[in-house]
Amino acid sequence: MTAKLDGRSALVSGSGRGIGREIALKLASEGARIVINDLDADPANETAELVRNMGGEAVVCAGSVTEDGFAQRFINTAVDSFGGIDIIVNNAGYTWDTVVQKMTDDQWHAIINVHLTAPFQILRAAQPVLSSTAKAEAAQGHEVFRKVVNISSIAGTGGNAGQINYSAAKAGIIGLTKTMAKEWGRYKINVNAVAFGPIRTRLTEAPADGDSNIDVAGNKIKVGLNADLLKQMETTIPLGRVGTPQEAAGAVYLFCAPESDFITGQHIICGGGFVL
């Protein structure tokens, strides 16, 4: 049986770790050739090696999605390596939380840039490639569907105290998704979003020592939820637990599979029934 994404090329930002890595592996398991991105080269190369060990193809485009020129470099990597673009998953991001009166302009712009501006720039850079390909296929009488999946959050659909920057960016992603679905429908591109609820990753997992930080552009950012808070949250999730990165990747795959060819401009919540 032919894999459903056989021969398709997929760009997945933030795919060196966590949910992004599982998205890359899921798409690769269905035959897609993957452009791996991560802020750091080492985890990106690790994901690429995992794809290759599965018998798949992968190349790495490391670096911050917010860097000047990154979007074009990302797109060029796909075109140069695989000859075109079939799937784009805008997944990269992190949180940097505090209440509004304590939030700095740098904190605001950092999160808006990684979660909203970077996906916009990536899609803008992809447009010439996607439109020319679609026009050539239409001239030959072919209808070929391509996919964009943007990652949102239940913080974007319902808001979340202490996350005004993140909530605003993730709400913006839904608006971006609906707009691009209307602009790119003529190219036979499905543009949808997945809003994640509680998913167990290094950004949510309670650290063993009670304190954990990541370094982003020289900023030390605290990550991980308090263990008691995480346990309390699980009692409010109808399915009784937080999700796994593999389950999150499965939700993204739904919008990449050919069965979603007539679905566009939509968002689904992958959160076990939990809502804010």
Which of 94, 166, 187, 253 is flagged as catalytic? 166
Residue whose C-alpha is closest to residue 29's, from 63, 53, 11, 65: 53
Helix (H, G, I), strand (E, B) or coil at 166: helix
Instruction: List, in order, residues 6 or more apart from 197 with CB less than 8 Å away.
Output: 153, 154, 237, 242, 243, 269, 270, 271, 272, 274, 275
CA distance 64 to 78: 17
Helix axes 245-254, 18-29, angle to 10 degrees: 50
Q: How many CB atoms lie within 10 A of CB 262?
A: 7
CB 162 within 8 A of CB 179: no
Length of the chain: 276
Distances in Å between the Cα of 46 and the Cα atoms of 52, 58, 194 are 10, 11, 25
Please compute Rg for the chain using Cα positions. 18
Q: Tell me the C-alpha distance between 172 and 174, whole Å.
A: 5
From 100, 106, 14, 18, select the one nearest 64 (Cα to Cα).
14
Active site (annotated) includes residue 166: yes
Q: How many CA atoms lie within 13 A of 188 on its CB side?
A: 17
- What distance in Å separates the CA atoms of residue 58 and residue 11, rounded to the nearest whole number? 10
Catalytic residues, by residue number, are 166
